[in-house]
Every structure is written in C-alpha cells, then in structure tokens.
Amino acid sequence: MIRAKKVYFHASKAEQDRLFACNRESARVWNECLRLAKNFYLEHKKWMSKSELQKQTKGKFHLHSQSIQAVCHKYLFARDSSHQAIKKGHTTTRYPYKKKNHYNTKWVKDGFKIHPNGKIELSMGIHNGKREKPIVVHASNLPQGHIKEIELCYDNGLYLAVSFEDGQEKKEYQSGQAVGVDLGEIHTLAAFCENGQALIITGRKIRTLHRLRNKKLAEIQRLQSKCKKGSRQWKKYQRAKQYMLSKSGKQLQDALHKATRNFVEWCVKQAVSDVYIGNPEGVQRNTRKKKKTSRKQAQKLSNWSFGKVKAYLKYKLMQDGIHMQEVDESYTSQTCPVCKKKKKVSSRNYVCSCGYQEHRDIHGARNILSKAIYGDIRHFDVPTTQKYLRIA
C-alpha cells in the first residue's frame, strides 16, 4: 500500500536557499495556472484541458518538468473538486482563485535519486539545453520501501513529505459484523456493533487542546491588532502565531490518530467488515442556516475536525479490509427506535416514555447503523455492552 511519511533533512545553507526558491517558483506556476485557465475560459467559453495547460506551462519555469506538471495536476484537481462541490449545492465553495507566494514542490519518478546513505538528489531539470546541478539534501529517517514521490513542505521549517509503497498487501474484504459510528461533540467517537458491543472514545484532551489553541490565538491576535500591519512587532506576533498553530496542530493530529487507531483495533476484534459513519456534512450545513443560535454549535462541530477523522478512519480501515460508508444522520439523535417518537436529548442518556433508554451517543450510533442496514430507524434487539476509552 502507498503510505506517507514526514522526513526531516540536512542541507547546506546554499541548498536550503535553492529549496525555498523552488517553492516560490512552484507558486509562480500555480499563479500562472490561474491566469491561463481564466483567460482560456474567457476566450473559448470552455474549460482548459489538461494537455493544453501542460503545453502552455512547459519549459517556462525554473523547475524539473515533472515538478511543473505536478502543480498543473493539483490545480486541475482543485478545480474539479470545486466543480463537484458546487454541483452538490455547496454555496460557499469557489473555484481556485487565490494567488500564492509559496507552493509545495513535488518530485516524481525521474525527478529524484536516492542513495543508500540517505543522500537525496532533487533534479532541477534541463534549462537552455543544459542539465542543472540537482539540489542535494541528507535525510536520516527515510522509509523502507519503494519511494514514489517527494514533496517539499514547510511547517516551521522545511521537511519532505515522502510517499512510498510499503510492500504490505492490504487485507481482503471478508463479510462480517456491521458497525454504526456517531462522531459527537462531547465524545470523539461512539460506535455500536450489531452484536451489541459498543465503544465510546472520549476526546476531552482533543477538546482541551482546541480550546487552548483558540484562546491563545485570540490573545495573539488582540496584541497584533494594536500594531501597524507589517511592522517589526507585528511580524513577531505573526511568527508566534504560526509557531503556536503548528505546534497545537501536531498535538491534535496525534490525538486524532490515537483515537482512530483505537477504534480500528476494536473493529478488528469484533470481526467487523462494514463501518457506517454518520455524515456530519449535513449537520454543518444545517447549523449554518440557523444563524445566531447555532454559532456555538457550529464552533463545537468544527472542533471535531470531522474531515480529518473521516480521512484517518477510511485509510486505517482499508488496511484491514474493512469498508467504510457514509450515512445521512438526520433524525438519528432524536428518534426513538422503538416507538419512533422524536425528542431532543439534553442529558447524557436518551430516555423515551416507552421505556427505551440508551447512552445518547450509542443511541446515535445504533440509529445510524439501522439506517444503513434497513434504510430507516429500527430497534436492534440486543443488549448493549459498553466500553470506554479515554485518550490520555
């Protein structure tokens, strides 16, 4: 399977400068893609094709030809994803329009050479008929396996995002248990398996991290607003802000990785083959509509970085041959699966006048599973066995 790894490296000052120049040059490619595509559309009233875009950018930049192409591909991908989102009715989505000062440079296939001692040569291609001297860096923690791509990224310092084939076969899908997952506000993740086993992973740590992050961010921004934009003091605060965001981002990512890993391990133990996850996109769109009262709610939801959790889960489950699908989760938190009455839950437990009761998050996960399997909300006639996991 293809995996990704963050790789740190050493390079001379001169080579580091050249690397920074690469990312500035890649930004120029991106900006040129924006310009070309716009002009093409205005002139021809249709979209610029991949081959046309490649033809018009080829050889015009101080980068390896495949590195230029990689930016074009990313531009086209961004354009197409926006198109899909707009078609689905997302009103806030825009086509790529923002000019950039820095953009990650990618080296693929013939664009790089790796030596056994960790030396990496990043090709700069041929200019004016002459092959330019490659950029040389030294990495110590390169992954084992066949390296496919190297991307030059920046997060408080340069690093390489290396994608590689790890040589591991992914497990085959084998029909087994089904699980419903509810991504909640108070808990990261609640799951209910049709065999009655339920798991709650509490993410109070994640929430604390987020809160702290927002608080610090507000503080820096308050101080910054008193300075003149672009002044020395302003820039100092800007750096502090970036440092804080990068650090807390890493902590959050760690916590999310831990939570999702724990969930996947649990799935394997239950012999799960299918995971149905409540689609929170609908939730977010609804809260946006309701304006004032839901602002707090919207903040809560965004705290949970749903997109990230979903992406982590999908990837990790796939490795174990488990399928993941999204389910429209509307009414799953309110509806009683026994008598179908609807009510809002305010406490930790969902209690219905008909006698049904359940932990509110497991209740949600149960109903999501039912929607996935039966197409509507029904009761699974099995007692729940709860397991709690706290992310330290």
List interacting residues with Zn ion (CB under 5 A). 336, 338-339, 352, 354, 356
Instruction: Name which of 260 and 370 has its Cβ closer to Zn ion.
Output: 370
- Nearest-approach distance from CB 358 to Zn ion, in angstroms: 11
How many C-alpha atoms does 176 have within 13 Å on its Cβ side?
Answer: 18
Instruction: Name which of 36 and 338 has its Cβ closer to Zn ion.
Output: 338
- Nearest-approach distance from CB 355 to Zn ion, in angstroms: 7
152, 228, 285, 385 from 182: Cα distances, Å: 36, 46, 17, 16
Instruction: Name which of 7 and 377 has its Cβ closer to Zn ion.
Output: 377
The bridge status of strand 272-279 relative to strand 177-182 is parallel
Residue 198 near residue 272, CB atoms below 8 Å: no
Instruction: Name which of 311 and 354 has its Cβ closer to Zn ion.
Output: 354
- Nearest-approach distance from CB 353 to Zn ion, in angstroms: 6
Instruction: Name which of 32 and 358 has its Cβ closer to Zn ion.
Output: 358
Instruction: Name which of 1 and 339 has its Cβ closer to Zn ion.
Output: 339
Please report the DSSP string for 125-176 in residue order: -EETTEEPPPEEEEES-PPSSEEEEEEEEESSSEEEEEEEE--PPPPPP---
The bridge status of strand 197-202 relative to strand 187-193 is antiparallel
- Nearest-approach distance from CB 371 to Zn ion, in angstroms: 17
Residue given tokens 């040059």 in the structure block: 25
Amino acid identity, position 46: K
Instruction: Name which of 102 and 379 has its Cβ closer to Zn ion.
Output: 379
- Nearest-approach distance from CB 214 to Zn ion, in angstroms: 38
Cβ of 220: how many Cβ atoms within 10 Å? 18
Closest CA to 200 of 17, 87, 363, 373: 363
- Nearest-approach distance from CB 356 to Zn ion, in angstroms: 5
- Nearest-approach distance from CB 202 to Zn ion, in angstroms: 27
| C-alpha span between 19 and 197 (Å, rounded) | 52
Residues 140, 262, 151: CA angle, nearest 5 degrees: 30
